[in-house]
Amino acid sequence: MSQPYDLREQIEHFESLTGDGTELVTVTIPNSKSLGSIRERIAQEYASAENIKSDQTRDHVQQALKRVQRMLRRYEKTPENGLVVYVGVVEGELISTIFDDLPTPVAESTYRCDDHFDLTPLIESVTPNETFGLIVIERGGAAIGRLIGERIIPIRTFESQVMGKSRAGGQSAQRFERDRERQVHEFFQQVGDIATDAFTGDEGTVTGLVVGGTLGTAKRFVSDNYLDHRLRNRLLGTYSVEYATVQGLDQLVKKADEQLLDTEQREGRKRLDEFYSRLRDDDLVAYGAEEVERAIKFGAVESVLIASTVPRSQREKLETAVKQQGGDGYVIASDTERGSQFVAAFSGVGHYYGFR
C-alpha cells in the first residue's frame, strides 16, 4: 500500500507539472467500474482527439491515451480501492504513473484532459477522514481538544471553582458538602456544554470521544449524563490521566491509542517514545544525518527514524545503509506535533542501537 508520506511527495511532484494546453490526462476508476467500460471510453476519447486542431496537442493527447490503454491492460479487474492514472507530455517527455493501492477508495469515475493533473483522489487519501473528541477532567480543571489523524488540536483549558475537600472553620459539614456538590455540578455542566459546542458544531460531530482524568471524576462525569446524547453514543472509553492540560491531552491519546490511531500511527508514536526514552537515559542514541551515518558504520543497529520532510534521496540512502547492517528504517510523519518537534530538535533524523 502507498504510505502517506509517499503520496504527499507524489502530490508535490505532480503539482509542479504543467502541460502545453490541455495535454495532461487524468483517469480515475472506482472499484465499482469495470475496466472494460473504461477502455471503451478511452478508445472513444482517442477517436475524438482527431478533431483537435493543434497538431502538437492532438499528437500528445493521443500518445497519452495510448499509454493509458497499455497500462490498463495489466489489470484483469479493478483493484479494491480503484485506480488513478496520470499520463501526459511534460517538457517533451511522455510521463506516466498509476496508483493501484491507495489507502482509501476512489470516489468517482472521471476522465480529464487539462494543463494540469487532477490530484483530488491523492489529496483525499492523505486527508484524515475521522476526528475524535478529547476531554480530560479532574477536580481542578479541564482540557478539551480534537484529534485529527495524529494531530492534537487544543480547544480550551480552564480551571474549576470547585472547593477542596477541607472546609473552613465554623462551616457545617452538610452545608460545605452541599456547596461543593453544587460547584461540581456547575463545573461538569460547563465542561459538557463546551464539549457539545466543540464536538457537534460547525465542524461536524466527532467520530468518537474519549474522556480522561482522575478515574473517579471522569467516570462520574460520564455516568451522570453531563455529555450530550450524541457524544454519549460515541464514547469509546474513560482513561486515567494525571493533568487536565495540553500535555494531558497527549497522555490521553497515548492511553487510548488502540481506539484512536491506526497501526501505522501507533507504531510511529512507539518508535518516538523509544527514541526519547533512550535519549533521556543517554543510552546509545545518535541524531542528525552526519552522526547517524557515522553510527550506522559501527553496526549493531536497531532502528533509524527519518522524518517525512527529509529529502527522499537522503532518506532512501539511510534506509538502505541501516538495512544492510540488519536494522530497519522508519519514516516519521512530520505533519504532527511530535513529528514537527522531532524535525526541529534533531533535523528529522534519529537512531538508536540494538544493544542496551
Chosen domain end from 126, 156, 182: 126
Digit-by-digit pLDDT tens for the chain (356 residues) are 445 557 877 888 898 899 888 899 999 999 999 999 999 999 999 999 999 999 999 999 999 999 999 999 999 999 999 999 999 999 999 999 999 988 888 989 999 999 999 998 888 887 777 899 999 999 889 999 999 888 889 999 999 887 766 555 555 777 777 888 888 899 999 999 999 999 998 777 899 999 999 989 999 999 999 999 999 999 999 999 999 999 999 999 999 988 888 777 788 888 898 898 888 877 678 888 888 888 888 776 678 999 888 887 888 888 888 888 888 888 888 877 788 889 999 999 998 875 44
Number of H helices, E strands in the chain: 13, 13
Q: Are residues 77 and 160 in the same domain?
A: no
Instruction: Single out the residue in 126, 151, 180 at which a domain terminates.
Output: 126
Q: Residue 115 gets which letter from DSSP?
A: S
pLDDT of residue 195: 96
Q: Are residues 226 and 306 in the same domain?
A: no
Instruction: State the number of CA atoms in the 13 A half-sphere of 298 facing the CB.
Output: 13
pLDDT score, position 4: 53
Strands of 188-334, DSSP E? 208-213, 235-240, 285-287, 301-307, 328-332
CB 58 within 8 A of CB 23: no
Boundary residue ending a domain (110, 126, 142): 126
Regarding whether 172 and 82 lie in a shared domain, the answer is no
Do residues 135 and 78 share a domain?
no
pLDDT of 356 reads 43
Domain of 57, in residue numbers? 4-126
**CATH at 308:** 3.30.1330.30
| pLDDT number for residue 319 | 86
What are the residue ranges of helices labelled H in 256-286? 257-260, 263-280
**286 and 336 fall within a common domain:** yes
The reply to whether 155 and 275 lie within a common domain is no
Q: Alpha helices of 21-172 — where are they, by DSSP H?
A: 35-48, 55-72, 120-126
Q: In the chain, how many domains are there?
A: 3
Residues 252 and 269 in one domain: no
Q: Are residues 50 and 109 in the same domain?
A: yes
Shared domain check, 173 and 112 = no
Indicate if 241 and 273 belong to the same structural domain.
no
What CATH code is carried by the domain that includes residue 84?
3.30.960.10
Q: Are residues 286 and 228 in the same domain?
A: no
This model's pTM is above 0.85: no
Cell of 331: 519514516
DSSP structural state of residue 225: T
178 with 69, same domain: the answer is no
